[in-house]
Amino acid sequence: MAEFKSGAAWYNERIQKPLNKLLSVNLPLEIAANTIQGDLVKRVFEDGLNSAGAKIGNYEPGRYRQLRRAKGREVSFVNLRFTGNLQLDLSNGGKTLSTALFKRISGVKRTRNADIIEGQEKRYGKIFTLTEDERDDYKQIVQLEFTRLFVP
């Protein structure tokens, strides 16, 4: 037999508790941001794709390409991975959730890496801006997680 709850008890359980959770940790945004951040890191550092879903670029013949080859790094396409420092910093970077969410969902902690990102985007164009698919996925995850909070 279903238990009947008073209006106040029902409100507290079904609305107020999830709302408090939402306001305190913003769980739907946190889950979505972490998921999309992982997708962005894979796209840039493994697949070598920019924000338009195309190749970031090619390593031109020269010393840097030779250095990458000597270190066993990818040389057939740009993937911005050399030491792994930038990738690690972006993977573990600050979780800045703001109105600029779709421009950059997170940051890097090290100033040097912020400079690298800026320089690479000047050289190759938009890399760390979310793709259309990443934006759509972000919205879907937020909706799903928001629904999970309020619909048991």
In 41-61, which positions are buried (b, 16+ CB within 10 angstroms) versus exposed (e)? Answer: bebbbeebbbbeeeebbebee
Q: What is the mean pLDDT of residues 119-129?
A: 94
Residue extents of the structural domains in the chain = 25-150
Give the whole-angstrom CA distance, residue 78 versus residue 33: 25
Check residue 79 and give its pLDDT. Answer: 93
Check residue 17 and give its pLDDT. Answer: 74
**Residue scoring higher pLDDT (35 or 7):** 35
Per the prediction, the chain carries an average pLDDT of 82
- Which tens digits make up the pLDDT trace of 20-51? 766 666 777 778 888 888 999 999 999 999 99
Degrees (nearest 5) of the Cα angle 87, 31, 85?
10
Give the whole-angstrom CA distance, residue 25 versus residue 6: 28
From the CA atom positions of the chain, what is the Rg in Å? 21
What whole-number percentage of the chain has pLDDT above 70? Answer: 78
Give the whole-angstrom CA distance, residue 12 versus residue 1: 21
DSSP assignment of 6-47, as one string?
-HHHHHIIIIIHHHHHHHHH-HHHHHHHHHHHHHHHHHHHTS
- Which tens digits make up the pLDDT trace of 98-110? 434 444 445 678 8
Degrees (nearest 5) of the Cα angle 145, 146, 148?
60
Check residue 92 and give its pLDDT. Answer: 78
- Which tens digits make up the pLDDT trace of 74-117? 999 999 999 999 999 888 765 544 434 444 445 678 889 889 99
